[in-house]
A and B are shown apart, each in its own frame.
Chain A
Amino acid sequence: MKILVPIKRVPDPQTNISVKGDGTGIVTDNVKFVINPFCEIALEEALRIKEQQGGAEVVLVSIGQKVAQEQLRTGLAMGADRAILVLSDDELDAATTAALLAKLVDQEKPELVLAGKQAIDDDANQTGQILASMLDWPQATFASKVEFSGDKKDVTVTREVDGGLETVAFTLPGVITTDLRLNEPRYASLPGIMKARKKELKEIPLAELGVDAKPRVKTHKVSPPPKRAAGRKVETVQELVNLLHTEAKLI
């Protein structure tokens, strides 16, 4: 089985993000970048499938600037077999990303695309769904459990939905997007890091894929959430109730 795992380079969720003065985006100088945590979970699941089934190939894809090589190398160090980097300097929306991935699916012919349910930078939560629709493939999003049938042709996916679990099944090929509780990604080991140096990392300029990458979505402004104001202590319950009426206008 061939599994395609798209991974996105995003700011480390542990770092403090600040917004640029002109509101065009976030400050990226001195910010550490990592593999989007949901993509990392997708990669871990792909590696587990590979280990269980034997003979599977895990191919990573990233779309972005040349620096995204770092995240691909980390993914290769975790155990992926090879990587493709589609070079683009522009910020791409979910539809364009999905179109590029669909093109790569045509070329690579994987049986499964395993993606994170969303990226923590723009939280769009659309790429996997749009990709499935473009390919006319079945999709199972927000996976918390992935199980294959004995002949590896069918897959059963448990999804976390409001108030419970939903189980869906489809016949491959298909798209699965991963939720937070699916697994705990492994560490890249030093031997893995060494092996990753020799693995293939192919770069493809975006233009070569013949996809219309003109953005359909425009970011007008990025602004930080309002700072929380300090609290205030009141002397009596009556005073609190009055303020809830007059100032907070909650009652």
Chain B
Amino acid sequence: MSSEIYASPDHEAFRAAVRRFVEDELAPRAREFDANGKIDKSLYRKMGELGMLGIRYDPRWGGAGLDWSYTTVMFEELARADNAGVTMGISVHTDMATPSLHQFGSDELRERWLVPAIKGELVSAIGVTEPDAGSDVAGIKTRAVRDGDDWVINGSKIYITNAATADFICLLAVTDPSAGYGGFSQIIVPTDAKGFSYQLLDKIGNRGSDTGLLFFEDVRVPVTNTIGDVGRGFQQQMMQFQDERLVACVSSNAASLALWEKTRTWCHERKLFGKTLAKMQVTQFKMVELMARLTADRELVHACVRKRMRNEDATLEISMAKLLVGRTCRVVADECIQLHGGFGYMTESAAGRAFVDSRLISIGGGADEVMIQYMAKMLGF
């Protein structure tokens, strides 16, 4: 396996720290978080203390100034939390809602929002998708109109992770409807702002995360809350999406590998007609096929990570990885349920949960079909 991307003792030490945190704080409470529909928010402070929330961010803002290899280590270990929703909530905070703020935000904005986000004192959400615009991001309607030194925001966002937990939202809004792709801006909106409200949604999977509808009714925030330049929001968001997709690939591939291992253990224990499932050739054929696919995916994901470690653009590779990883996760979950039999159909079973959790990978962060269109362009069509 391509362990060379994170073979140093420092990686090992960080892996051990995250593993212990996951084993002590997250895994034992995994079903509690499902029942509550969200993580215990106080755990963010512990993650902040461990340095999990600012791995690639500048030490000036409290980050560790490290590269993607450490992010990979963290999300591989978080897969052991046995709760895809919780992992997703954390990844939204670390790699989907804050990268633009870190890269393009003013010093004042970073001091006010990024520093406490890295400490785990504040939790963030990313507000892009709308009832009428998902993977076609440019179709969003939420409008921010300038009034003196303020933006006045009206509109709604849907399927927003961390809807109830978030203290602030990295919002994508239309600031100039006549300017095409130059008419969008990323704006920090605190969730205690007047005129902001949310409503939780009930999902089939990822139940350990709070997903909701957000409403903005004459929400006023200072124009200085704009991340980067006014009118550059669309382009900045597209860059932010790359990290989002890669994190999704790392964590869902790791979660699938963990499920495969759990299923192998099950197959060694479960007896049918006097012998274990593991001894049956049909089981072995299935499990080997699955591991071959998981290993191939993992290598591709690591190739993406390597490119990002060198700060190279990996849009095409990451899009390809997401396409394959999303499909493999579904196949693995499906086959693992089958091997678990009746128990696999219970929510108690990791296979059963993976079956519904994994379905999101091919939709979130850009649906497969839309991504394929982009890839076709990149490949000369």
Write the residues of chain A forming the contact surface with B, with a CB cutoff of 8 angstroms. 34, 69-70, 73-74, 77, 187-194, 196-197
Report yes or no: A194 in contact with B64, Cβ–Cβ below 8 A. Answer: yes
Cβ contacts under 8 Å, B50 to chain A: 187, 189-190
- Ordered by A's residue number, 15 sampled pairs between the chains whose C-beta atoms are within 8 Å are A69-B9, A73-B9, A187-B16, A187-B50, A188-B17, A190-B14, A190-B50, A190-B64, A190-B70, A193-B10, A193-B14, A193-B17, A193-B51, A194-B10, A196-B13
Report yes or no: A189 in contact with B9, Cβ–Cβ below 8 A. Answer: no
Report yes or no: A191 in contact with B10, Cβ–Cβ below 8 A. Answer: no
Question: Does chain A have a CB within 8 A of B35?
Answer: no
Report yes or no: B21 in contact with A187, Cβ–Cβ below 8 A. Answer: yes
C-alpha gap A41/B10 in the complex (Å): 21
Knowing A190-B51, A190-B52 are in contact, say whether A197-B10 is a contact too (CB < 8 A): yes
What DSSP secondary structure best describes chain B's contact surface? helix
**Chain B interface extent, by class:** 10 to 19
Cβ contacts under 8 Å, A192 to chain B: 51
C-alpha gap A197/B64 in the complex (Å): 13
Q: Closest chain B residue to A71 by CB distance? A: B9
Cβ contacts under 8 Å, B202 to chain A: none
Cβ contacts under 8 Å, B21 to chain A: 187
Report yes or no: A74 in contact with B13, Cβ–Cβ below 8 A. Answer: yes
Question: Does chain A have a CB within 8 A of B136?
Answer: no
- Given known contacts A189-B51, A194-B65, what 19 new A-B pairs fall within 8 Å (CB)? A69-B9, A73-B10, A74-B13, A187-B16, A187-B17, A188-B13, A188-B14, A189-B50, A190-B17, A190-B51, A190-B52, A190-B70, A193-B14, A193-B17, A193-B51, A194-B10, A194-B64, A196-B13, A197-B10
Q: Which 10 A-B pairs have the closest CB atoms?
A: A190-B51, A187-B17, A189-B50, A70-B9, A191-B51, A190-B64, A189-B51, A193-B13, A188-B17, A188-B13
What DSSP secondary structure best describes chain A's contact surface? helix
Cβ contacts under 8 Å, A193 to chain B: 10, 13-14, 17, 51
The CB with the most chain A CB atoms within 10 A, among B13, B14, B55, is that of B13
Report yes or no: A191 in contact with B64, Cβ–Cβ below 8 A. Answer: yes
Instruction: Name the distance in Å between B355's Cβ and chain A's nearest Cβ.
Output: 30
Knowing A73-B9, A197-B10 are in contact, say whether A190-B55 is a contact too (CB < 8 A): yes
C-alpha gap A189/B46 in the complex (Å): 10
Cβ contacts under 8 Å, B13 to chain A: 73-74, 77, 188, 193, 196
Report yes or no: A188 in contact with B16, Cβ–Cβ below 8 A. Answer: yes
The CB with the most chain B CB atoms within 10 A, among A73, A189, A197, is that of A189
Report yes or no: B66 in contact with A190, Cβ–Cβ below 8 A. Answer: yes
Instruction: Name the distance in Å between B119's Cβ and chain A's nearest Cβ.
Output: 11
Report yes or no: B49 in contact with A189, Cβ–Cβ below 8 A. Answer: yes
Instruction: Name the distance in Å between B353's Cβ and chain A's nearest Cβ.
Output: 25
Q: Closest chain B residue to A74 by CB distance? A: B13
Question: Does chain A have a CB within 8 A of B20?
Answer: yes
Report yes or no: B17 in contact with A189, Cβ–Cβ below 8 A. Answer: yes
Instruction: Name the distance in Å between A215's Cβ and chain B's nearest Cβ.
Output: 29
Instruction: Name the distance in Å between A105's Cβ and chain B's nearest Cβ.
Output: 28
Q: Closest chain A residue to B55 by CB distance? A: A190
Instruction: Name the distance in Å between A113's Cβ and chain B's nearest Cβ.
Output: 25
C-alpha gap A196/B49 in the complex (Å): 16
Question: Does chain A have a CB within 8 A of B261?
Answer: no
B1-29 residues with Cβ-Cβ distance < 8 A to A are 9-10, 12-14, 16-17, 20-21
The CB with the most chain B CB atoms within 10 A, among A34, A77, A193, A196, is that of A193
C-alpha gap A34/B66 in the complex (Å): 24
Q: Closest chain A residue to B21 by CB distance? A: A187
Cβ contacts under 8 Å, A77 to chain B: 13
Q: Closest chain B residue to A70 by CB distance? A: B9
C-alpha gap A73/B13 in the complex (Å): 9
Q: Closest chain A residue to B49 by CB distance? A: A189
B25-69 residues with Cβ-Cβ distance < 8 A to A are 49-52, 55, 64-66
Q: Closest chain A residue to B18 by CB distance? A: A187
C-alpha gap A191/B20 in the complex (Å): 16
Instruction: Name the distance in Å between B22's Cβ and chain A's nearest Cβ.
Output: 11
Instruction: Name the distance in Å between A186's Cβ and chain B's nearest Cβ.
Output: 9
Knowing A193-B14, A194-B64 are in contact, say whether A187-B20 is a contact too (CB < 8 A): yes
C-alpha gap A34/B55 in the complex (Å): 24
The CB with the most chain A CB atoms within 10 A, among B20, B50, B52, B70, is that of B50
C-alpha gap A187/B18 in the complex (Å): 8
C-alpha gap A187/B52 in the complex (Å): 12
The CB with the most chain B CB atoms within 10 A, among A74, A187, A194, A196, is that of A187
C-alpha gap A193/B10 in the complex (Å): 6
Cβ contacts under 8 Å, A69 to chain B: 9
Cβ contacts under 8 Å, B9 to chain A: 69-70, 73-74
C-alpha gap A148/B70 in the complex (Å): 40
